[in-house]
Amino acid sequence: MIPYIHRDISWLAFNYRVLQEAKDPTVPLFERLKFLAIYSSNLDEFFRVRVANHRSLLRTGKKTRSSLDFEPAEILSTILKVVNKQQEEFSRIFEKDIVPELAKCKINILRRKKLNEEQQEFIEDYFKDNMLPFVQPVLLVGNKIKPFLVTGALYLAMHLEETASDNKKPQYAVVKIPSDHLPRFIELSPDTEGEHDIIVIDDIVRHNVRLLFPGYDIIDTYSIKLTRDAELYIDDEYSGDLISKIKKSLNKRNVGVASRMVYDRSVPKKMLDYLSEVFELSQYDKLPEGRYHNNADFFGFSNFGLTHQKDNPQPPLSVPHLEKAKSIFDVIKKKDQIIHVPYQSYQPVVKFFEDAATDPNVTHIKIIQYRVAKVSKIMDALKLAVKNGKQVSAFVEIKARFDEAANLMWGERLEAAGVTVHYSMPGVKVHSKIAIVRRIEKDKARLYVHLSTGNFHEDTAKIYSDIGIFTSDKRLTSEAARLFTYLETKTKPKRKFEYFGVGQFNLKPLLIDLIKTEIKNAEKGKEARIILKMNSIHDEEMIGLLYEASQKGVKVQMIIRGICSLVPGVKGVSENIEAISIVDRYLEHARIFMFHNNGKEKIYLSSADWMVRNLHRRIETMFPILDPDIQNTIKDLINIQLYDNVKARHIHIDKNNDYRTETTDLAVRSQVETYYYMKRFTDSFDSDKK
């Protein structure tokens, strides 16, 4: 059997890299808190989707759909073991590192027993004035009273005894912590000397629960949280109205079966057993954590103006030759253009649509919408374009997980504005990132295309590292148009894609051919090299082919942010494969594939990772970089990352997640180096235009 790491175990290794950022003392304090929040948010989604899937397989007695035959029970046990160890480390980081560092900054997170008399009076008044309508106290009576716990909500589980009873039989209750209605972190009256005393809302409830249960003694309280299966179970995508089915499924998402109950690890076993019985939890459903849950709430923790405890500002670089152009299309017509966010401003992408909406020579605009910002200038431009007489078409993917409702809303808004909206296709997701503008120039139609590794999303463009190009090269624009025709008509193109790799058509075969070409060159004694940058690699066939390439002498360098089921460094299998992962202030999201091709290098950008879902169940687009200048820029960007020795970690059989420090004596932090590279790139480009 080939060396292979289960995707979910590998994902946990990635999330640990996020936790590494939280414990790194060189990371500014409030950024460390942010990484605690990211780690927790990631883990919540992981349990709602991936762990829920394993539980479903376990209940039905099925194995995972893989030739490697992972047993669901085995995977669940491993997941819980790994996560439990990580959660213990999370608690240590917060209690032993973060809290003391906050105190040095005069930000004190206080427990209720440490409050002075004035502060106790404050939280008692706060509870009565703000919290009473939301706490929902319920006594638990075995199988008779089983309150429904809202997914992701915080609760206190309480051990009670009747005050007047001689029989001190333990009783239990739950009380909701209203962090969904009120701030999680409450500042007590600030001190005149700049001290900030903070109490977590959980502890305000703890202090006041005696008011909710008169006649009972409160023995102890422990926090718990339940998360539920978030999968949308649609019986048959191929029949009936898919949109109405998704809407109905969305209504059921928050009432799905439990996929995890997290609980304070100090809860007594007898009480935990009782809660397990009441909420019908198995051994695979319970996960101990620290005193506090929902740590994604650290996203909202105030920095109290201490900007020196945050990352240095790195404002997006303006791109004047695009942003200030009278018409962006005149610039694109002369030469292909590259945009690298968040290092550069996203404004050129917005301008692409805004210019199209007002240009009298533009007749058509087409766009694929996978995820969109809540407030979107791009969507506003599409609506304006309709008012100005343009034909506007949007393909809206309503199966984008956790954005289904938002995309349905945007689809309805666009339809109301006169945009022609096409919705999801049965059995596949459309994940390509493409937009087309058709413009009449000298009585002839010319197409302008934006191709990207990231979504048309103004918010994520500030934190996701993505690369896009603008082009009017007919070799690319004609294939983009062919793809849109397929999405709109559901009729397969009569002509094959020659330059694009498109999921459901030729994407995976093209990738296989590119790898096999390197293998053949290596067998002939020629230089053979592959560089792959992506979020995740999981597809068994592609991994097996890369192992074959390694054994034939092809040098393979990989930059993988997340899941990596491939195992580098295995003797006789993957000795020629080197893999790193970079986790830093921005989310690495670009997919770049480079093949040496006997010196005639081929470089592609793509919307697709090498996951089974991307290569088999999605419409993805991989597009070649044909402009020599942009090719050189991308090679420079990749080389910067390959030399990272500050934020890069090894993905390796022996030293997994160890920081990689051996590239050079000079510290190279790739995301900082990239920012200044793009600054030099932009400055030199604009000076050439003067």
Over the stretch 545-577, which tens digit does the pLDDT of each residue have? 999 999 999 999 999 999 999 999 999 999 999
Q: What is the pLDDT of residue 157?
A: 94
Q: What is the pLDDT of residue 463?
A: 96
- Dist. CA 79–CA 531, nearest whole Å: 31
- Dist. CA 120–CA 124, nearest whole Å: 6
444: β partners: 441
Same topology, domains 320-489 and 501-689? Answer is yes
Q: What is the pLDDT of residue 151?
A: 87
Domain borders along the chain are: 7-309, 320-489, 501-689
Q: What is the pLDDT of residue 236?
A: 57
Task: Label the pairing between strands 258-264 and 216-228.
Answer: antiparallel
Taking residues 93-121, report their average pLDDT: 93
Q: What is the pLDDT of residue 400?
A: 85
Q: What is the pLDDT of residue 142?
A: 67
Taking residues 72-100, report their average pLDDT: 94
With pLDDT > 70 as the criterion, what percentage of the chain qualifies?
Answer: 94
pTM of the predicted model over 0.85:
yes
**Is it the case that residue 260 has pLDDT exceeding 60?**
yes
Taking residues 314-336, report their average pLDDT: 96
**Is it the case that residue 143 has pLDDT exceeding 80?**
no
- Find, among 2, 8, 3, the residue nearest to 562 by Cα: 8
For the ranges 179-193, 209-223, 617-631, the maximum mean pLDDT occurs at 617-631
pLDDT band at 98 (very low <50, low <70, confident <90, very high): very high
Helix 540-551 crosses helix 507-523 at what angle (to 10 degrees)?
10
130: β partners: none
Check if the beta carbon of residue 395 is closer than 8 Å to that of residue 430. yes
**Is it the case that residue 193 has pLDDT exceeding 90?**
no
Q: What is the pLDDT of residue 284?
A: 83
Q: What is the CA radius of gyration of the chain?
A: 27
- Cis preceding-peptide flag for 28 (omega within 30 of 0): no
431 is catalytic: yes
| Range 501-689 has CATH code 3.30.870.10 | yes
| Range 7-309 has CATH code 3.30.1840.10 | yes
- Find, among 475, 482, 472, the residue nearest to 441 by Cα: 472
pLDDT band at 403 (very low <50, low <70, confident <90, very high): confident
| Longest distance between any two alpha carbons in the chain, whole Å | 96
- Dist. CA 333–CA 477, nearest whole Å: 12
Outline where 279-346 has alpha helix (H): 320-323, 328-334
**Is it the case that residue 614 has pLDDT exceeding 70?**
yes
The single-letter code of the amino acid at 1 is M
651: β partners: 579
Between 190-204, 283-297, 402-416, 570-584, the lowest mean confidence (pLDDT) is in 190-204
- Dist. CA 394–CA 364, nearest whole Å: 11
| 551: its two tokens | 């054994």
Q: How big, in percent rounded to 5, are the helix, strand and coil portions of the chain?
A: 40, 20, 35
Between 156-165, 202-211, 425-434, 667-676, the lowest mean confidence (pLDDT) is in 156-165
Active-site choice (207, 431, 450, 650) = 431
Q: What is the pLDDT of residue 502?
A: 98
* Secondary structure element (H or E) that encloses residue 355, with its range: helix 347-358
pLDDT band at 444 (very low <50, low <70, confident <90, very high): very high
Taking residues 352-369, report their average pLDDT: 98
- Find, among 559, 556, 561, 558, the residue nearest to 573 by Cα: 556
Mean pLDDT, rounded, of the chain: 92
| Range 320-489 has CATH code 3.30.870.10 | yes
More confident residue, 248 or 18: 18
Q: What is the pLDDT of residue 686?
A: 59
Between 43-57, 59-73, 183-197, 627-641, the lowest mean confidence (pLDDT) is in 59-73
More confident residue, 323 or 254: 323
Q: What is the pLDDT of residue 404?
A: 87
